[in-house]
Structure 1
Amino acid sequence: MTDSTLHLIKAFFLGIIEGLTEFIPVSSTGHLIIFGDWISFSSSTGKVFEVVIQLGSILAVMWVFRARLWQLIRGTLTGVPTEMAFTRNLLVAFIPAAVIGAIFIKSIKQVFYHPGVVAVTLVLGGLIMLWVERKTHETPGDTPGAADDTASDERASARTLEQITWKQALGVGVAQCVAMIPGTSRSGATIIGGMIAGIQRKTATEFSFFLAMPTMLGAAAYDLYRNIDLLSQHDLSAIAVGFLAAFLSALVVVRAVLRFVSNHTYRVFAWYRIALGIVVAVWLSLFA
């Protein structure tokens, strides 16, 4: 097997990882850093590969929500109040990450893109998720931790996308800024941030999917613009393979996540994060 073929196989594998993890709260970037380090995948343009293959994932979610997305665009252009409010909320949630990312993303990549950082943020994020899930399920008089996994979010004030307020959207946007640290998870930060703000879990998940569209498209376009002259044919081939793998795997995951959150909490993902973070930390202490 030639080095070029092996490189494309690694790119395809990482594309699958990206698609499987982008829309569940376990950190796709964290997984790409961990698995990319383990399989010794390298790109001459640093982290551009990881960002650009996310386009495959975001196009998958746009395809799944294509009817609702078209309704949103058409309603906004024709002045439908509910659709205009939804568009406003997406812009409000998008702006904080756009501003912070434009200013600090280079420094963040230089400092935080390391498996050790990912291990820490995976564990911390998992613990926060467990705490938020417990709080959103408890009602006055409940025994702490006694809530049923299939119970609805009793305290949620926004149960549909149309009921989300601009203040709740801003809270989600601020939470998204934290996700710039790898291992935190963009979807995890925005979903949990939405739940803390009073948005029902399934609705917070759907809002996170829609917010991913401008956020991830913007990040990928920005990285391509800054590094297009540095990309070689070697890099472009790997990106194309990773893009396709991410698109196909994300198509499966998006639908599965929406079904899952209708009847379950995110506790299983929280425990997965904690377990993976511990495994990575032990691995680094023994072999790094």
Structure 2
Amino acid sequence: MSHIVTAIIQGIIEGLTEFLPVSSTGHLILSGDLMSFKGDKADTFEVFIQLGAILAIVVLYWRKYLSLLGIVKNEVSQEANGHSLNLGHIIVACLPAMAMGLVLNKVIKNYLFSPYTVLIGLVVGGVFMIYAERNAKPAKAQSMDGLSYRQALQIGLFQCLALWPGFSRSGATIAGGLLIGASYRAATNFSFLIAVPMMVAASGFDMLKSYKTLTASDMGYFAVGFVIAFIVALLAVVSFMKLLEKLKLSSFAYYRFVLAILFGIYLLVR
């Protein structure tokens, strides 16, 4: 299959799945397996186009990011616990997964980027999401501005689970947020907000390691995948935000189970 066609398909899949707790990386690995799009370049491509989808969050939350940088005033009022979201919350939430990803990068790429490990991640992540939903603590933080530094760090620790492809970064952070006393809305918005520095770091690190193996011809389909992922994500994000408010985590967990079963059957019979 043409790399351009593959890039378009992968870009659409990335844009549609990045903001749902179903694991965009897992979906890209599974679809890449179906299209025989594998190897180091495919792995780098999958990480790179995720950055395209993440840019949709920058567009959606541009005022919040500028307020975190002190460029514009944060118009969100503080909650009763006296906390207001700032750059420190983002830093403490991102550091655990960044550090662990840096240390385990080679292990993750060599052993976890396969359809079989993704299926495990889909199932285990789905079970975790159902558990979190059923055992959620009373919400002390109703919005992102109500999150404490401790809660931000705890969500960041849960984010480390998403280093296993298929587990889902948004699924891990939203579920983790519910377990430590964040509302569904607060955990979801914070999950989206910290996605930007996480994916910028991951994409930048991967490109620094892989750029020497890429050729000029690779840049074309990399750019196509990036742009498609950005456009699809930008169109989908508002609808998905509304969808996330209406559906429970368990709904996405059951979808993950069905996908794992169907693809597992495919792997057995192919």
TM-score (norm 1): 0.86
- 1:229 and 1:126, CA in 2 relative to 1: closer, same or farther beyond 3 A? same
2: CA distance, partners of 1:88 / 1:76? 17
Shift of 1:90: 0.8
**Residue 280 (str. 1) matches residue 268 (str. 2):** no
Give the structure 1 partner of residue 202 of structure 2.
219
**Residue 241 (str. 1) matches residue 224 (str. 2):** yes
5+ long unaligned stretches in structure 1: 137-153
Please give the root-mean-square deviation of Cα atoms over the aligned residues, in Å.
2.2
Provide the secondary structure at the position in 1 that maps to 2:22: coil
**Residue 36 (str. 1) matches residue 19 (str. 2):** no
2: CA distance, partners of 1:45 / 1:60? 24
Instruction: Check the 8 A contact 2:11/2:228 in 1, yes or no.
Output: yes
1: CA distance, partners of 2:40 / 2:116? 22
Aligned AA (2:244): V
Instruction: Check the 8 A contact 2:84/2:146 in 1, yes or no.
Output: no
Shift of 1:274: 0.6
Give the structure 2 partner of residue 17 of structure 1.
13
TM-score (norm 2): 0.92
1: CA distance, partners of 2:218 / 2:71? 40
Aligned counterpart for 2:245 among listed residues 262, 276, 283: 262
Instruction: Check the 8 A contact 1:76/1:84 in 2, yes or no.
Output: no
**Residue 102 (str. 1) matches residue 85 (str. 2):** no
2: CA distance, partners of 1:122 / 1:262? 21
- 1:203 and 1:84, CA in 2 relative to 1: closer, same or farther beyond 3 A? closer
Instruction: Check the 8 A contact 1:122/1:184 in 2, yes or no.
Output: yes
* Deviations 1:168-217, CA, capped at 9 Å, x for gaps: 11111111111011100111111111111111011101000110010000
1: CA distance, partners of 2:198 / 2:87? 14
Give the structure 1 partner of residue 116 of structure 2.
116
Instruction: Check the 8 A contact 1:157/1:199 in 2, yes or no.
Output: yes
Aligned residues: 265
**Residue 182 (str. 1) matches residue 165 (str. 2):** yes
Q: Identity of paired residues, percent?
A: 38
* Deviations 1:11-39, CA, capped at 9 Å, x for gaps: 11001101111111000110000000101
After the TM superposition, list the runs of 4 or more consecutive aligned residues in structure 1 that deviate by more than 4 angstroms: 75-78, 80-85
1:54-203 map, 5 Å: 54-74=50-70, 85-136=85-136, 155-203=138-186
Instruction: Check the 8 A contact 1:127/1:274 in 2, yes or no.
Output: no
1: CA distance, partners of 2:54 / 2:94? 15
Bigger mean CA deviation after superposition, 176-185 or 119-128: 119-128
Bigger mean CA deviation after superposition, 40-49 or 231-240: 40-49
Instruction: Check the 8 A contact 1:132/1:196 in 2, yes or no.
Output: yes
**Residue 232 (str. 1) matches residue 210 (str. 2):** no
5+ long unaligned stretches in structure 2: none
Instruction: Check the 8 A contact 2:17/2:24 in 1, yes or no.
Output: yes
* Deviations 1:143-175, CA, capped at 9 Å, x for gaps: xxxxxxxxxxx8111111111011111111111
1: CA distance, partners of 2:133 / 2:236? 21
Bigger mean CA deviation after superposition, 240-249 or 262-271: 262-271
